[in-house]
Each structure stands twice: as C-alpha cells, then as structure tokens.
Amino acid sequence: MSVVRIDGHGLEVECIAGAVDAPTLVFLHEGLGSIAQWREFPHVLAADTGCAAMIYSRYGYGRSDVLQAPRASDYLHHEALVVLPQLLQELDIQQPLLVGHSDGASIALIYAGSEYAASTTGVIAMAPHVFVEPQCAAGIDAARQSFEDGDLAHRLAKYHRDAARTFYGWNDLWASPAFRQWNIEAFLPQIVCPVLAIQGEDDVYGTMAQLDAIAAQVSGPCTRLKLPHCGHVPFREQAQITQRASAQFVTQVTDSRKVSV
C-alpha cells in the first residue's frame, strides 16, 4: 500500500503485479467504498486473468485524505476526467481495463466515453448509474436512516478515516434535488471498447433500465449480465457468477488485443 498525491490530495493506492503484455485492471469503488471493501475480488480477478491491477480509494474515502468540503454536483465527472487520468499517468498505466462498482462504474463509463476512449481497453460496470431513477431516492433515504439510527456508521468506521464526512459527502449529493437531473448518457455513444454491464435484480438503487440504456447507446460490444437474488453488490452477493463472468470478459478482451496487435 502506498500514498500517491493527485489533484492536491493523498490517495491510498494498492498495486498488484501481472503480465506486462496484458491490460491493467483499474478498480473504481462505490459511493461508500474503499480499497478494503473490495475484499478479495481484485486479487482473485488479477490471479485468474494474469493481469496487473491497481486499486485506490478516492479522496474522502478509506485511508485517503479526509473530505474537507461538500461534493460538487460534477464530482463524478471530475473524478473521471481529472483525477483518474492524472493517477494513471503517475503510475504509467497506459491501457486500463476499468472495473467499476456503482459510482465507480459511472466514473468508468464517463472516462471511457471521453477523450480517453481510444486508450480504454474495456469496462466492467457493476450496478452502474447513467441516470437517476425514482427508486434511487428511496435507497438514499434508507441509507441515511441506517447511518443515523442503525449500524451503518459503525460498519463504515472500520474502513474510513472519517465515516461521517465520507457518508454525508456521498449522501447529501445524491439526495439533493439538483442531482435528480444528473445524467451521463451523452458519454455512451463515444464508448468503443467492450463493456460488461452487471446488475442485480434486487438492487435498491437502480433497475435493468440502466443496463438497457448502456447496451442501446454504446458503440462497442456490450454484454449484459442480469443477476437474480442479487442486490447492489454483485461481487459479494453473487460472487462466483460475477467472478467467472468478469474473468471470462477480461480474458476475451486480452486475447482480442493480442490478435489485433
């Protein structure tokens, strides 16, 4: 584990060695996530595919610098278009394969649909958001109640330097009326790399409409994986299926790159 200073903030980073001729898996956590909350998933996926991997906690999360101000409404865009490119450049990662969960999946899609489209090897988007659905508001409200009256604060304190700032930095933004209009569908047509989009049927934050929007609008190939009996965290709730599908996707993308080269 190391600390890398990006965009004025110290970010905790973990790197996993892998084959030099394979893409680097770049893990982008959820809105309340961190390196530690990925658990064994990045290490298993890297081992299964032979790829190197990079995992990091965004500013305000995990053991990275503590959040000092409210999140701006363009926070996810800033992470995708400013922070992530700087971090990849600092670590000399030139052909990333982005593995994003929830907010991290949105960051991955923005990045892959931007000026960095040509350098993006692939995207695995788990529980992605490309627009805000009505049911998402109920999930955000339920999370706040669990943080203030339940055990969520205690559980998050195990992973974040300041659990309250981490939580409210995320929750206040998503709960704000202005954020109900948030939408990143304009980035989708510029995505030319392969995409694996994964969604649990019982996810309280979004429906299969997210996957359908992605599949209908990206310019590259898109595979949808819809998981029954699964909520918002496929890599934990349906670990074997998610792991197997992700490894197969990474292997196919890597083999395709070798053939084209």
160: Cα within 13 Å, side-chain hemisphere: 25
Please list the pLDDT of the chain residue by residue as tens digits (261 residues). Answer: 899 999 999 999 999 999 988 999 999 999 999 999 999 999 999 999 999 999 999 999 999 999 999 999 999 999 999 999 999 999 999 999 999 999 999 999 999 999 999 999 999 999 999 999 988 888 999 999 999 999 999 999 999 999 999 999 999 999 998 888 999 999 999 999 999 999 999 999 999 999 999 999 999 999 999 999 999 999 999 999 999 999 999 999 998 876 554
CATH fold for the domain made of 2-260: Rossmann fold (3.40.50)
Residue 63, token pair as written in the block: 């053991």
Per domain, the residue ranges of the chain are: 2-260
pTM of the model: 0.97
Strands, E assignment, 127-257 = 195-200, 222-227
Report the relative pairing of strands 9-16 and 2-6 from DSSP bridges. Answer: antiparallel
Asked whether the beta carbons of 94 and 102 are under 8 A apart, the reply is: no
CB distance 215 to 222 below 8 Å: yes
